[in-house]
Chains A and B, each alone.
Chain A
Amino acid sequence: MTSSPPSSSPGLWHKILHAPWTWRVTWFYLILFLFLPMAALVLKSLTLNPAEIWRIATDPVAISTYNVTFFTALVASIINGFAGLIIAWVLVRYEFPGKRFLDAIIDLPFALPTAVAGLTLSTIYSTNGWIGGFLEPFGIKVSFTRLGVLVAMIFIALPFSVRTVQPVLQDMESEMEEAAWSMGASQWQTFRRVILPPLMPAILTGVAMGFSRAVGEYGSVVIIAGNIPFQDLIAPVLIVQRLEQFDYAGATVIGTVLLLISLVALLVINLIQARGRRFYG
C-alpha cells in the first residue's frame, strides 16, 4: 500500500485508478453521503436571487431565532466552560467516593438520545416537576421558556467541556505548581498564573465545540421549549417549520446561515488548537 514515487508524473486518472481500494471506498462514500448533500444545499441557495436571500435571512422571525439560538448557545457553552473546568479538576485531582461513577456518566449526553433528554428535562423542569416545582415559588419558569432552551443546551454540550480539559490536566506536570507554591505564591496565584494558561486552549476548544453542538441542536430543545417566535424559537426548529410549510427557499437560506456558522466555529476550533500546540507543545 506504500506509494512508490513514479518515474513519470502520472495524471489524476492514473492516480485514481491505481489508488488502494480503501482509498476508493473512502472517497466514494464521502462523495455520495457527504459532498453530494452539501452541494445540494449550496447549489439550491445559489439559484435564489440575492434580494430574495437577504429578505428571508433578515426576516424578523429569522433574526429572532438567530438571537435566541446563538445567545443561548453562547451562555450555555460559557457556563459549561466553567463547570467543565471544575468537573475536570475534581475528577483528576481529588479522590472521593463515587468518582468513577461520575467520570462514567459525563458521557451520558453523548449516549442518551436527544429526544429522551428533552422529554425528561421538560418533565423535571416543568412547574409541577421535581426541580421546576421547587423553582416556581421564586417565579422561575424553565420548561417552555428560553431558560428551558438553556438547560437543554447545557445538557447536550457538557461532555465537550469536560473531555477536552481532562486529558490536558492529567498530563500536566505538577513540578511547576510545586515550584510556584514553594516560592510563596498563593493558591489563587498558582492557579491563575501556572495552571490556567496551559489549560486555556483546551477550555476554549471545549467551549467552541459545545457552542457548535448547541447551535445545531434540535431534538432536546424542540421538546422542552414552547417554540414560540420571538421568545424561544431556535433556528433549527424554524427550518423544520419552514419545510413543513413546503417553503424550501426559506429552509435553505436559514440552513445555509447555520452551516456557515458551523464552519466558522470549526475554523475557530482548529485555530485555537494550532495556537495551543505552538505555545504549549
Chain B
Amino acid sequence: MADSSLQQPIATAGPKSQGATFQWGKWLLVAFVFGFLGLILLVPTLNVFVQAFKGGLPGLLDTFTNKFFLNAVKLTVITAAITVPLNTVFGLCAALSLANKNFPGRALLISIIDLPFSISPVVAGLMLVLLFGNRGWFGPLLDANGIKIIFALPGIVMASIFITMPFIAREVLPALEEAGTQQEEAAATLGATQWQTFWRVTLPSIKWSLLYGLILTNARAMGEFGAVTVVSGNIVGKTQTLPLFIEEAHTQYNSQGAYTAALLLACLAVVTLVVKFVLERGAGIQSKSH
C-alpha cells in the first residue's frame, strides 16, 4: 500500500488543472458528478428527512408510540448487540492469525473470510433455513428439544453474523501489517504476557481500524434486510426488525410509519459516515471498497 497522502501534490501537479483553456472541461465533469450523485444519492437521502417530517412532530410521535415499531427497534438493537461483539472476537482472532505471517493458503483463507460479501443475502438466509428450518438438516433435532432458530431471534442473529463477518478482519488486518511485529516482540522480550502485549501494544495500534470495523458491522447488522427476511418469518411485533417494518409499512401505504423507521436508520448511516470521515482525517484510515 503506497502512502495515500501523495494525493495533495498530484492534485495540483496534473497538466490539466493548469491550462486555463481546459477549465471548462473541469467544470463540465464537476457538474456531471454533482448531477449524477444528486440524482442517485443526495436527493433520495434528503427525501428521507423531508418525508419523515411531512406529518410534523405529531406524525413522528405517532409512530414512536406504535408498539410494533418499538418492538422492531428493540429487536434491531438486540440483534446488533449480539452480532457485533461476536464478530469482533472473530475478526480480531482472524486478523491476528493472518497478520505478519506467511503460510501456504493464506490468500485463500483471506478470500474465504471475504466470501460472505459475495453471497447474496437471500441465499445466505436460505442456507440457514436449509440447516435449521423445520424441514432442514437439524430441524427434527431442534424440534425435539424445543429450540427455535428459524423464525426466531437466533436465526436473525446468525443471518446478521453471516452478512457482517468480514468487516472487522478486513479493517484490522492491514493495520496490524502496517504496525509490524517489532513492538510486540519487544514487549514479549521485556516479559509481558500475551494478554498484556495485546492490551498494551497491539490494541492501541489498531484501535481506529477496529472502531471503523465495529461501526460498519453495526450499520450493516442493523440494516440487513434480505437475509433477515428469509429467516425471520416477519412476525409483526415478534421477529420484525426495522428494515422489515419499513417494507411492511410501505406495502400497507403507511408512509409516515415507513419514513419514521427510515429516518432512524438514515441517522445511523449519517453517524457512520461522519465517524468514518473523522477517522480518515485523524487516523489515516484509507478508503477502500467492500
A118-173 with Cβ < 8 A to chain B = 118-124, 130-131, 151, 154-155, 158-160, 163-164, 166-167, 170-172
Taking chain A's interface residues, is the majority helix, strand, or loop, or is none over half, making it mixed? helix
Indicate the member of A30, A177, A215, A237 with the most B CB atoms within 10 Å: A30
Q: A83-B36, A167-B288 are in contact. Are A38 and B89 (CB under 8 A)?
A: no
Question: B65: CB under 8 A from chain A?
Answer: no
| CA gap between A124 and B97 in the complex, in Å | 47
- Looking at A5-13, A53-61, A87-95, the stretch in contact with chain B turns out to be A87-95
Interface footprint category on B: 35 or more
In the complex the two chains form, is A219's CB within 8 Å of B45's CB?
Answer: no
In the complex, chain B residues whose CB is within 8 Å of the CB of A223: 247, 250
In the complex the two chains form, is B119's CB within 8 Å of A216's CB?
Answer: yes
Question: A193: CB under 8 A from chain B?
Answer: no
Q: A255-269 toward B: CB 8 Å interface, digit per residue (1/0)? A: 100110011011000
Within the complex, the shortest CB–CB distance from A65 to chain B, in Å, comes to 12
Within the complex, the shortest CB–CB distance from A24 to chain B, in Å, comes to 8
Residue of B nearest to A99 (CB): B30
In the complex, chain A residues whose CB is within 8 Å of the CB of B39: 131
| CA gap between A246 and B269 in the complex, in Å | 35
Within the complex, the shortest CB–CB distance from A256 to chain B, in Å, comes to 8
Within the complex, the shortest CB–CB distance from B147 to chain A, in Å, comes to 15
In the complex the two chains form, is A22's CB within 8 Å of B51's CB?
Answer: no
Question: A116: CB under 8 A from chain B?
Answer: yes
The listed residue (A92, A107, A239) touching B7 by CB distance below 8 A is: A92
In the complex the two chains form, is A121's CB within 8 Å of B44's CB?
Answer: yes
The listed residue (A100, A105, A120, A174) touching B37 by CB distance below 8 A is: A105
The listed residue (B122, B130, B286) touching A236 by CB distance below 8 A is: B122
Within the complex, the shortest CB–CB distance from B289 to chain A, in Å, comes to 4
Residue of B nearest to A129 (CB): B47
Question: B203: CB under 8 A from chain A?
Answer: no
In the complex the two chains form, is A112's CB within 8 Å of B265's CB?
Answer: yes
| CA gap between A206 and B243 in the complex, in Å | 27
Question: B196: CB under 8 A from chain A?
Answer: no
Within the complex, the shortest CB–CB distance from A277 to chain B, in Å, comes to 12
Q: A115-B246, A120-B51 are in contact. Are A104 and B276 (CB under 8 A)?
A: yes
In the complex the two chains form, is A113's CB within 8 Å of B222's CB?
Answer: yes
| CA gap between A158 and B287 in the complex, in Å | 14
In the complex the two chains form, is A108's CB within 8 Å of B94's CB?
Answer: no
Q: A163-190 toward B: CB 8 Å interface, digit per residue (1/0)? A: 1101100111010011001000001000
In the complex, chain A residues whose CB is within 8 Å of the CB of B16: 93, 187
In the complex, chain A residues whose CB is within 8 Å of the CB of B45: 105, 108, 112, 120
Q: A202-223 toward B: CB 8 Å interface, digit per residue (1/0)? A: 0000100100110111110011
| CA gap between A262 and B127 in the complex, in Å | 15
Question: A279: CB under 8 A from chain B?
Answer: no
Within the complex, the shortest CB–CB distance from A232 to chain B, in Å, comes to 16
Q: A93-B17, A115-B223, A159-B289 are in contact. Are A255 and B123 (CB under 8 A)?
A: yes
Residue of B nearest to A175 (CB): B13
In the complex, chain B residues whose CB is within 8 Å of the CB of A92: 7, 10-11
Q: B76-104 toward A: CB 8 Å interface, digit per residue (1/0)? A: 00000000000001101110110000000
In the complex the two chains form, is A33's CB within 8 Å of B266's CB?
Answer: no
Question: B73: CB under 8 A from chain A?
Answer: no
In the complex, chain A residues whose CB is within 8 Å of the CB of B36: 83, 86-87
Sample 18 A-B pairs with CB under 8 A, ordered by A number: A22-B93, A36-B131, A92-B11, A106-B37, A107-B287, A108-B45, A109-B41, A111-B273, A113-B223, A119-B258, A158-B41, A167-B288, A177-B15, A178-B15, A187-B25, A216-B226, A255-B122, A262-B120
Given contacts A33-B158, A113-B222, A248-B130, list 14 more A-B pairs with CB under 8 A: A22-B92, A26-B94, A29-B90, A40-B131, A87-B36, A100-B277, A112-B265, A124-B44, A155-B41, A213-B117, A216-B122, A248-B133, A251-B126, A270-B111
Residues of A with Cβ closer than 8 Å to B?
A: 1, 20-23, 25-26, 29-30, 33-34, 36-38, 40-41, 43-44, 83, 86-87, 89-96, 98, 100, 102, 104-124, 130-131, 151, 154-155, 158-160, 163-164, 166-167, 170-172, 174, 177-178, 181, 187, 206, 209, 212-213, 215-219, 222-223, 236-237, 239-240, 243, 248, 251-252, 255, 258-259, 262-263, 265-266, 270
Residues of B with Cβ closer than 8 Å to A?
A: 2, 4, 6-7, 10-17, 22, 25-26, 29-30, 32-34, 36-37, 39-45, 47-48, 51, 89-90, 92-94, 96-97, 111-113, 115-124, 126-131, 133, 135-137, 158, 161-162, 165, 194, 216, 219, 222-226, 229-230, 242-244, 246-247, 250, 255, 258-259, 262, 265-266, 268-270, 272-273, 276-277, 286-290
